[in-house]
């Protein structure tokens, strides 16, 4: 897997113009269904999954 395929919270917040704090809220993630994963202590998403999620919205 390439590192460019992983989007961290900073990247996702810039992409969707949402604050990083909002993305990190468990309640918001559950409501929106955004496919995010934890790698160590960092929250991130795979680019392909995020794109598919955005298209479905």
Domains and CATH numbers, the chain: 3-56 (3.90.105)
Mean pLDDT calculated for residue range 11-24: 96
Mean pLDDT calculated for residue range 24-48: 94
pTM: 0.84
CB-based burial label for 45 (10 Å; 0-12, 13-18, 19+): buried
Mean pLDDT of all residues in the chain? 92
Q: How confident is the model at residue 1 (pLDDT cuts 50, 70, 90)?
A: low
Task: Tell me how long the chain is.
Answer: 57
């Amino acid at each position: 897997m390439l590192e460019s395929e992983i989007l961290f919270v900073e990247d996702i917040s810039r992409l969707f113009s949402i604050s990083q704090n909002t993305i990190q809220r468990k309640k918001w993630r559950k409501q929106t269904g955004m496919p995010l994963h934890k790698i160590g202590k960092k929250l991130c998403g795979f680019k392909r999954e995020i794109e598919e999620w955005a298209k479905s919205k």
